[in-house]
């Protein structure tokens, strides 16, 4: 993995109807489809907005919906494992 993957951390998270947006410390912004993370897709707006940045912004945690997302994993394009199960 590239060192750039690990140097960037999340500084801000927000949502629209279809995507989670992540502002990174290096100035990039990621748009990630909520369909990649079924727990977020099925969560209410209030539940989505109750997150914590962990590890200095390298992780995003939602206690109420039991979801944890790695920011380096997002940068690499990783999806929730249940996304792949639906594809089979």
Domain of 15: which CATH number? 3.30.2020.40
Residue 26 sits in which domain range? 3-87
Please state the rounded mean pLDDT for residues 11-31.
97
**Given this model, what pLDDT does residue 24 score?**
97
Q: How far apart are CA 40 and CA 25, in angstroms?
A: 23
**Given this model, what pLDDT does residue 81 score?**
72
**Given this model, what pLDDT does residue 65 score?**
97
Q: How many domains does the chain have?
A: 1
Of the pLDDT bands very low, low, confident and very high (cuts 50, 70, 90), residue 7 is: confident
Burial of residue 20, with CB atoms counted within 10 A of its CB: 0-12 exposed, 13-18 middle, 19 or more buried: buried
Instruction: Using the predicted structure, report yes or no on whether residue 4 has a pLDDT greater than 50.
Output: no
Partners of residue 54 on adjacent β-strands: 59
pLDDT tens-digit profile of 30-80?
Answer: 999 999 999 999 999 999 999 999 999 999 999 999 999 999 999 999 988
* Pairing outcome for strands 59-62 and 52-54: antiparallel
């Amino acid at each position: 993995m590239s060192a750039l993957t690990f140097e960037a951390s999340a500084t801000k998270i927000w949502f629209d109807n279809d995507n989670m947006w992540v502002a990174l410390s290096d100035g990039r912004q990621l748009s990630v489809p909520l369909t990649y993370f079924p727990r977020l897709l099925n969560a209410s707006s209030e539940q989505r907005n109750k997150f914590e940045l962990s590890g200095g912004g390298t992780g995003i945690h939602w206690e109420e919906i039991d979801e944890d997302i790695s920011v380096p994993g997002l940068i690499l394009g990783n999806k929730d494992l249940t996304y792949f199960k639906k594809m089979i």
